[in-house]
Structures are given as structure tokens and as C-alpha cells.
Amino acid sequence: MARSEVALESVQVRARNVGGIDRTAVDLSSGVTLLRGRNATHRSSFLQAIMAGLGSTRPSLKGDADEGEVTIDVDGETYTRTLTRRDGRVVFEGDPYLDDPTAADLFAFLLGDNEARLAVARGEDLREVIMRPIDVDAIEAAIEERTRERNEIDDRLTELEGIEAELPRLESRRTTLRERLDEKRTELEEVEEAIERADADLEESRERREEVDDAFEAVRRARSELEDLQFERSTEEATVEELESERVELEEELDGIDVPETDPDRIDDRIDDLRERKRDLDDTLGELRSVINFNEEMLADGEVEIDLAGDGSESDVTDALVADADRTVCWSCGSRVDRTAIEETIERLRSLHETKLSDRNELQSRIGELSERRSAVVERTRRIERAEGRLADVTTELAECRDRIDELETAMDEKRDEIERLETVARDAGGPDYDEVIALHRDATELELEIEGITADLEEVDTEIDETESAIAERDRLEDERETLTEELVDLRTRVDRIEADAVESFNEHMSAVLDILEYDNIERIWIERRERDDTSGRGTARTESELHVVRSNDEGASYQDSVAHLSESERAVTGLVFALAGYLAHEVYEDMPFVLLDSLEVIDADRIARVVEYFEEYAEYLVVALLPEDASALDDGYDVVSEI
């Protein structure tokens, strides 16, 4: 059961100058509350007062007042709204229960002028009503943000691609280097032992031996420095090779990217302009809906505005209305006009509303197309800027590396000459008997240099292995993040369609249950079908529409397809209520708002009203229903009843 998730104990509603109410205060208990009374007893006005306190801007201000107020106390919290007449309009201010009343206006405040109910009665496109509470702009912004994050992760994963395949090679190289290091250290130990034995056989003086050792040490230092120079040159040459390869790739990448013809800022300006126009249309649509609803309400409850002579009793009002049933007082200018003229004006307003709504949907589509185009332009521009910036860096680095290689070649030639000179000095110092010792010292020096090189290589491989293992861990984390982002994108991209599908499924399910409960003799089924149709904008895209179907049976029991227009007033009223309930559940209005308000049920017979109320009772913490006394008498005696407002 999708009952309200807002658990409340008591609610007090205080209202002043709302609808036809001068002043009232009513306590509501959870469950069903029946507002029982005849027409013109302010039952609908009290429902409007609840709507105003909860956040709606549809309620009206009392005709002879310039300001009104509604206060709702909910579990120790007080919410206050003021209504003020300014420049012919009613301005709402204060701190309401709901920040955004759109979904509640459509699917919880089910008065006679409720748009969800009227859309069914008039056979209008139900999809537009179902989708209205969805902030499409916010969803598109979220999609753009998640897409950008996922693209960044994809770029990083591309950099890490194949990183795990490097780990076995690096580990194998580390094993080989360790084995070579052990071998060279063993060889060095053997050479050092041979040098010690040769030194022991010499019969030279201590001073001569020190002179020879110093000469050998100078040779070792020079060879070590030469080895360092050679290693540095190899490193620079490897860097040049990598930079050359990267330069070719960058040049190919730049050749393959088309330069955008449009500046993203110009697209941004166009999007901002379209969004401003869309906001203006949203405001206009809201105002048109308010004006249409207000005028329809005035036609339905014209007695609220008519200033009739008499003591204000119910009989005076009834006699006046009967005497002048085809004329009423214009609530704008105060003159008496034909009702048909006002009805024609309302119809023109409805036509204008439909035109503006179509314009708004077209603007939304154009905003979506421009947003996609801007994203593509920005991405191409960024790729070009990144590639050009890196290409400039590579060119500079190549020049610096080549200059350094030339410097190293010169230094190596100088170091070789120095080594040759030092070896001559060592040979002269040791004499002919020292040739073997010189060779051993040379071998020892070469082995020490090899050991240093292997040790450096081993440290480098260890570092690469650590970095590779860290990169593998980062890749796993990024893949998890990417999967999460992909799921969020799927959810965002399907949210609109999913809500529509849920609402249609919910309607069909509840409509079937309600028809079984209400037992309409010749109605077998009423259901909504979602169908795709080509977009009239000419772009060849498709959109869905929700079509209402009716299946009846004749006296012989044969089934046939019928039109919504052929439904009775009672059947249309019930269908509209069920459609609103489906929206209430699909948009999860109950999570934030515990009220459902019902009015204008007179076209349904009393017994069926009782069943409808019982059915709706399961889905709202507070169900407030306005009923005529004869209709209220058919309901459960256990319900709370408010007879005076």
C-alpha cells in the first residue's frame, strides 16, 4: 500500500478571507474527514484554504477583501500563507508546507477544477499532465554532468589500458636482474680475492703500493663517471625516440579533428535566450491556468460574487439565480453579461493555453538539441587545445634533449681521453710487474659499474611494479565508478519514460479495481494505451502519447470499443479521480504531502461515492471530502464530520 509516509497526529487549519470564507478554524484528525453541507456553505472554500496553506497558488481571495491569510499547524510546526491583491492579481507570500506544489495541485487537490480530472473529461492528452511535475531541465543538466564525469574516467582508463599485462613482464625482469646482480657480486668477490693475492706477492715498498693504489682508484673513478655519462646519453636517446613517436601521434590526431565552426559561447547565448523564453512561457502557462480555473470556478459558483438584495439567506440566493440564470456579474468589471460570452472567453483562453504549451515543448526540444551540439563543440575544442599544447611542449623537449645529447658526447670523449691518460700513469707507476694487477683492477672497476647499473635498473623496476599495482587498483576503482555513473545515466535517461509508464500501469490497475467495486453495468474496461507517434516538429523523432480507451458491452453481452465522450458524467468523474490517483502514486506525492482533497462528487451516486472514498482512504494520511448531506449519509458513521465552516 502506497500510503502517505508523513505520519501526523493532528492538524489545525485557520483561514481568513479565502474563497467565500470570512474567518474559520477547523481541527482535522488523521483518516477521513467529511465536509458535510449544502451548496454555498464554503466547503470548497475550506478546501482551497488547505491548499493555500500547503503551498498551492490556485485558491482565490475573497471578492470583497484585499488580503487574506491561512495558517496550518502540523505536529508543532506552523505554516502561514498570505494572499494579497495587487494590480488585479492575487500574490501569495509566506512559508508553505510544500516548496513545489505542482504535483499536489495535479494529483492531490482534486477539486472540480483539477486539471487531471478535467483532462480526462475533455479527452485531452494525458501524457502532458503526467509529465508536468518533472523538471526536465534539471534532468538534462544532471545527464550532462554525469556524461562529463564518465568521459573523464574513460580517458583515464584508456591511459591505463593494458597496464595489467605489463606486470608479468616487469616481475620477470626483476627476477632476471636479481640473478645477474648475484652473479656479478660473486665475480667481483673473486676478482677482489685475486687482487689481494697479487698484492701479497709484491715486494715493493709501502709508499710505492699506495702510489699504485691511488692510480688505480683514479682510473676507477674516471670509468665510473664515463659509465654515468653513457647511461645519461642512453636515457636522453630513449626520451627522444618517445617524443618523436608522440609528436607523430599528435600531428595525426590534429589532422583528424575538424575545427568547430561555431563558438560555444554563441551556443550558450542561444540556449540562455531559449531558456528565458521557456521560463516566460512557463509563467504565462501558469497564469493562463490560474485565469481559466478561476473563471470556471466563478461560473460554477457565481453566487459568491453576485451582490443580491435580501438578507443573504439561502432562499434569497436561489431565487435570484433562478430569475437570472443566463446572466451573471463579471468579476473583472462588475457589469452583468451573458454567461455564453464568458464561456467563449474561457474557450479562447484554453486554445491559447494549448498553443503556448506547444510552443513551450518545441523550445524544450530545441534547447536539448543545442545542449548536445554545444557539448560536441566543447569536446572537440578541448581536444584540439590539448593536442596543440602538448605538441608545442614536445617540440621544445625534443630540442632540449638533442642539445643535451651533444653535450654528453663531448663530455664522453673528454672522459675517454682522461681514462687513457690515467691508465698510462697507473701502468708507469706499477711497472711491468703490475700489468696483471692493472687488469684485475680494471675488471673490478667494470664489475662495480655493472653492479651499480643493475642495482639502479632493479630499483627502477621495483618502482614500476609499485606504480603498476597502484594503477591496477586505480583502474578497478575507476571501473566501479564508471559502472555507477552508467547506471545513474540510464536512470536519468529513462526517468521520464519510466514515470509515464508507471502512471499508466497504475491507472490501468486501479481503474480495473475501481470498476469492479463500483459495478457499472455495461463498462467492461477503461484503460490507457501508450503509443508512439512522429513529432510534428518535422525532425523525424518520436514521442509518446497516452490514449484513453473504453470497452462496453451491449445487452447481448457483446463487447465493443466506445469513446470517452460517451461516458456519463459519473463515469468521467470516477475515471478522472483514478487518473489523478495514478499520478499521485507514480510521482510518489505521498512521500512529501499527507493530504488528498476531494470535491465536486455530486455527479456520482451516493453509494458509489462511499466506495470511492473507502478506496482512496488507503492512500492518504488525511482524506478531506466535501459532500452534500444526502451523499454523506451513505458513508461510514465512523468518519469525522465537519458541518460548520
Which region, left, alpha or beta, applies to residue 347 given φ > 0 means left and ψ of -120 to 50 means alpha?
alpha
Q: By three-state DSSP, how is residue 406 classified?
A: helix
Is 184 in contact with 454 (CB distance < 8 Å)?
yes
What single DSSP character describes residue 30?
S
Judgement on whether residues 99 and 219 belong to the same structural domain of the protein: no
Q: By three-state DSSP, how is residue 546 classified?
A: strand
What crossing angle do the helices spanning 206-256 and 339-430 adopt, rounded to 10°? Answer: 150
Domain boundary among 464, 495, 526: 495
Residue 316, amino acid: D
Domain boundary among 394, 427, 443: 394
Judgement on whether residues 90 and 160 belong to the same structural domain of the protein: no
Q: Which residues of the chain have pLDDT under 50?
A: 1-7, 203, 205, 302-325, 331, 536-541
Mind giving me the DSSP string for 345-392? HHHHHHHHHHHHHHHHHHHHHHHHHHHHHHHHHHHHHHHHHHHHHHHH
Is 25 in contact with 91 (CB distance < 8 Å)?
no
Q: Is residue 402 part of a domain?
A: no
Q: What is the largest CA-CA distance in the chain?
A: 149
Q: Is residue 403 part of a domain?
A: no
Q: Is residue 488 part of a domain?
A: yes
Judgement on whether residues 314 and 374 belong to the same structural domain of the protein: yes
Contacts 24+ apart (CB under 8 A), 60-68: 60/18, 60/19, 60/90, 60/294, 60/297, 61/17, 61/18, 61/85, 61/90, 62/17, 62/18, 62/19, 62/20, 62/21, 62/22, 63/304, 63/305, 63/331, 65/17, 67/17, 68/15, 68/16, 68/17, 68/18
- Beta-carbon contacts of 582 under 8 Å, excluding residues fewer than 6 positions away, are 503, 504, 506, 507, 510
- Beta-carbon contacts of 356 under 8 Å, excluding residues fewer than 6 positions away, are 281, 284, 285, 288
Q: By three-state DSSP, how is residue 57 classified?
A: coil
Q: 477 is written with which cell numbers?
A: 576503482
Q: By three-state DSSP, how is residue 107 classified?
A: helix
Mind giving me the DSSP string for 58-89? ---B-TT-SEEEEEEEETTEEEEEEEEEETTE
Residue 527: strand pairing partners: 549
Q: Is residue 422 part of a domain?
A: yes
Q: 196 is written with which cell numbers?
A: 689481494
Judgement on whether residues 276 and 252 belong to the same structural domain of the protein: no
What domain range includes position 155?
147-259+414-495
512/639 Cα distance (integer angstroms): 26
Going from the C-alpha of 262 to that of each of 210, 370, 388, 624, the distances in angstroms are 80, 11, 19, 57
Judgement on whether residues 363 and 387 belong to the same structural domain of the protein: yes
Mind giving me the DSSP string for 554-600? -TTS-EEEE-GGGS-HHHHHHHHHHHHHHHHHHTTGGGT--EEEE--
The closest of 636, 500, 522 to 132, measured between CA atoms, is 500
Judgement on whether residues 294 and 351 belong to the same structural domain of the protein: yes
Judgement on whether residues 430 and 461 belong to the same structural domain of the protein: yes
Residue 96: strand pairing partners: none
CATH number of the structural domain spanning residue 630: 3.40.50.300
Is 259 in contact with 487 (CB distance < 8 Å)?
no
The closest of 513, 496, 551 to 529, measured between CA atoms, is 551
Domain boundary among 470, 495, 520: 495
- Determine how β-strand 21-29 pairs with β-strand 10-18: antiparallel
Judgement on whether residues 273 and 210 belong to the same structural domain of the protein: no
Q: 137 is written with which cell numbers?
A: 531541465
Q: 280 is written with which cell numbers?
A: 516566460
φ and ψ at residue 198, rounded to 5 degrees? -65, -40
Q: Is residue 522 part of a domain?
A: no
Q: By three-state DSSP, how is residue 33 classified?
A: strand
470 C-beta neighbours (distance < 10 Å), count:
11
Judgement on whether residues 42 and 157 belong to the same structural domain of the protein: no
What local confidence, expressed as pLDDT, does residue 277 receive?
87
φ and ψ at residue 540, rounded to 5 degrees? 80, 5
pTM of model > 0.85: no
Judgement on whether residues 42 and 123 belong to the same structural domain of the protein: yes
Q: Is residue 136 part of a domain?
A: no
Number of domains in the chain: 3
- Beta-carbon contacts of 581 under 8 Å, excluding residues fewer than 6 positions away, are 107, 506, 507, 510, 616, 619
447/439 Cα distance (integer angstroms): 12
Is 496 in contact with 139 (CB distance < 8 Å)?
yes
- Beta-carbon contacts of 409 under 8 Å, excluding residues fewer than 6 positions away, are 233
Judgement on whether residues 268 and 386 belong to the same structural domain of the protein: yes
Judgement on whether residues 360 and 434 belong to the same structural domain of the protein: no
Q: Is residue 606 part of a domain?
A: yes
Q: Is residue 244 part of a domain?
A: yes
